[in-house]
């Protein structure tokens, strides 16, 4: 295996007042220390996640998900990702969108290999920042084999790190509530360097996708994943870019998914939306797409409005969609000057929730990750419009397989 790749020079963030992240194994104070009002950095006795929960290999099969264990990694499965998207600013005028994804990939090397240098697990990470006002996107990527203090995806709870990029969870005060923190020191390929510190707090219970967290991804029984979402996350952020330091608030969405078989041989990629609705609900819709543009498989869910603060007793109803209940119809396309790939940037999406339009806030939100996972895809901040053209939600649209069949890491 080639040495781990690094994109952009190593930068040291400013040293803010306040305590460093407790127990995280970082030798520097994080950007979150500059946000003393955040519950995370100021919570007395707060502890970083630990891997104390024994890992029990279970593969992917219909079963009840168990937490906090299923917040953590599942190294017996082939592919896994933790995926965070959101916006900063106001719902009426979002200033930035952000995306952070950590991938864990099990290789063909036997996990019992005696060499510490054996690459049994690989970690990848993608980060992107969409500047709505400037209509430009900054992005960065990382990759490394697990171990040597460079990268890890811990079992037992969310604790994923790739060099100086962490995503970690601790339990909140109420029921199943959670608080996440992430920190990025990115070297942008499309503009200046930027730094982003995030604290994400749940406001609702877990959303188990599919059948209680078992989500079919194709016509064959084994084509499935375990999949849960955490929509409507409250966001507190500090962004440093263009010589400015900005304290911002917003809303986010977190997905965690693991699988042994994500893509049917006849599928080239997928289209997916995760939208935080302004009434407190959450809309998910996806389809796996053949090369001719037809739909191989589809699904999604709608969670109704809720005022829950994270306790398990929410009365909000959730409906899972059947494959024949979801339809994506492209209405407007954009061609990337960098890759010549053409993407629909305005969709009509029909689900049991009704007919909506999904429109990118700007077109140029393509990510070239060929230096890490080996693929090119489009992922960007988008709005959900009702039949009258009113914005009723914000979230992310992801489209893969338009620049060639999706290559999974």
Tell me the whole-structure pTM to 2 decimals. Answer: 0.85
pLDDT 10s digits, 142-190: 888 777 778 999 999 999 999 889 999 999 877 679 999 999 988 755 5
Q: Is 305 helix (H, G, I), strand (E, B) or coil?
A: coil
Residue 244 pairs in a beta bridge with 241
- Alpha helices (H) in 121-270, listed in sequence order: none
- Residue linked to tokens 């990694």: 73
What is the domain partition of the chain in residue ranges? 67-400
**CATH T-level fold of 67-400:** AttH-like fold (2.40.370)
| DSSP secondary structure letters along 321-363 | EPGGG-EEEEEEEEE-TTT--EEEEEEEEEETTEEEEEEESSS
> Is the separation of the CB atoms in 177 and 202 below 8 Å?
yes
pLDDT score of 25: 30
pLDDT 10s digits, 182-192: 999 887 555 56
Q: Is 209 helix (H, G, I), strand (E, B) or coil?
A: coil
Q: How many CA atoms lie within 13 A of 140 on its CB side?
A: 23
DSSP letter, residue 29: -
* Cα separation, 256 vs 158, whole angstroms: 10
Instruction: Report CA torsion sign: 66, 68, 74, 75.
Output: negative
Helices (H) and strands (E) in the chain, counts: 1, 23
pLDDT 10s digits, 202-224: 999 999 999 999 999 999 888 99
pLDDT score of 193: 86
323 phi, psi to nearest 5 deg: -55, -35
* Cα separation, 380 vs 385, whole angstroms: 16
Mean of all residue pLDDT scores within the chain: 83
């Amino acid at each position: 295996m080639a040495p781990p790749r690094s994109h952009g020079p190593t930068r040291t963030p400013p040293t803010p007042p306040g305590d460093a992240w407790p127990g995280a194994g970082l030798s520097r104070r994080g950007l979150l220390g500059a946000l003393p009002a955040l519950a995370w950095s100021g919570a007395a006795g707060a502890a970083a996640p630990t891997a104390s929960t024994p890992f029990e290999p279970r593969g992917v099969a219909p079963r009840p998900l168990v937490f906090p264990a299923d917040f953590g990694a599942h190294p017996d499965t082939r592919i896994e990702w933790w995926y965070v998207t959101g916006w900063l600013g106001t719902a009426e005028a979002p200033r930035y969108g952000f995306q952070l994804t950590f991938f864990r990939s099990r290789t063909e090397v036997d996990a019992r290999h005696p060499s510490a240098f054996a690459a049994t697990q690989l970690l990848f990470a993608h980060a992107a920042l969409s500047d709505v006002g400037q209509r430009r996107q900054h992005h960065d990527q990382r990759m490394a084999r697990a171990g040597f203090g460079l990268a890890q995806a811990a079992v037992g709870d969310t604790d994923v790190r790739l060099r100086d990029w962490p995503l970690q969870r601790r339990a909140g005060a109420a029921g199943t509530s959670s608080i996440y923190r992430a920190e990025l020191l990115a070297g942008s390929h499309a503009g200046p360097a930027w730094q982003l510190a995030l604290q994400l707090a749940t406001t609702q219970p877990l959303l188990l996708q599919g059948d209680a967290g078992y989500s079919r991804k194709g016509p064959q029984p084994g084509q499935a994943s375990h999949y849960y979402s955490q929509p409507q996350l409250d966001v507190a952020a500090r962004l440093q870019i263009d010589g400015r330091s900005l304290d911002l608030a917003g809303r986010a969405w977190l997905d965690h998914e693991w699988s042994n078989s994500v893509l049917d041989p006849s599928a080239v990629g997928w289209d997916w939306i995760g939208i935080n609705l302004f009434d407190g609900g959450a809309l998910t819709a996806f389809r796996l797409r053949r090369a001719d543009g037809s739909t191989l498989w589809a699904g999604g869910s709608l969670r109704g409005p809720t005022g829950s603060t994270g306790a398990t007793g929410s009365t909000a109803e959730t409906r899972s969609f059947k494959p024949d209940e979801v339809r994506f119809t492209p209405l407007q396309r954009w061609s990337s000057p960098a890759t010549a790939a053409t993407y629909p940037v305005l969709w009509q999406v029909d689900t049991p929730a009704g007919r909506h339009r999904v429109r990118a806030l700007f077109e140029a939100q393509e990510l070239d990750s060929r230096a890490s996972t080996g693929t090119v895809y489009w992922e960007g901040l988008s709005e959900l419009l009702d039949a009258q053209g009113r914005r009723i939600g914000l979230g992310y649209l992801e489209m893969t397989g338009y620049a060639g069949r999706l290559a999974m890491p």
